[in-house]
Amino acid sequence: MVNIESNNKVALITGANKGLGLEMSRQLSQQGLTVLIAARNLQAAETATTSLKNEGLKAQAIALDITNSSHIQTAVQTIENQFGKLDVLINNAGVMLDGEWSISNASSVSLDIIRQTFNTNFFALVELTQALLPLILKSSSGRIVNMASIEGSLTLHADPTSLIYDSKPFAYDASKAAVNSFTVHLAHELRNTPVKVNSAHPGWVKTDLGGEGAMMDITEGAKTGVQLATLAADGPSGGFFHLGKPVPW
């Protein structure tokens, strides 16, 4: 498969001021896309943008707290006024509030933690995607990438032989399973359009979320999101992938 033409393509990446978001911004910029680096704090977004510009890449800072509806509407208006369309949306921003990965806490995690987790990882993601969809539909090759996690796989959580069987932070895992459901449903709704919607498992990556014990560096971890953001017209939609290979739902 040949990747989409990158000339004049515009991508928005949430939580892009550091970690996977920044590295996906770098890799897409290297392919010729103009990347909008979104972060809750404009100064953080501008610092990240400057670092890419110093590498000769095309990037632009945008303040976007995805849990703030007014921020979302301002971002949509800014993109519409400046570009008239959006070619790539990578829903990367997320939180893990359970505390530890190697726990099983469905009986004890507080409803407040569950609500906070879903508010960022799911509800805000859905609201932002719905708000930007009219602009994505104006693209000749719109791509929506939901950064999920293998922790959202019900199949693997139910398998005693899987690597994640004993890792069950409920709030985080359930939010990512919900994201995967959104991917499947939105992809079906858009099946007769050029837009492709997929979930990405980046891997266990050395980020603030993944920790220093993670097995993958950020450069490698960014590859799955970038691959799905630049799928060719004959690429998949409605799937869950890691480095080009399907991940069980």
Residues with a catalytic annotation lie at 172
Residues 226, 237: Cα–Cα separation, whole Å: 15
For Cα atoms 99, 101, 102, give the angle at the middle one, nearest 5 degrees: 115
Q: Which amino acid is at 63?
A: A
Q: Which of 4, 1, 2, 245 is nearest to 142 (CA)?
A: 4
For Cα atoms 55, 61, 64, give the angle at the middle one, nearest 5 degrees: 145
Q: Which residues pair with 148 in a beta bridge?
A: none
Residues 147, 198: Cα–Cα separation, whole Å: 9
Contact 84, 76 (CB under 8 A): no
Q: Which residues pair with 104 in a beta bridge?
A: 168
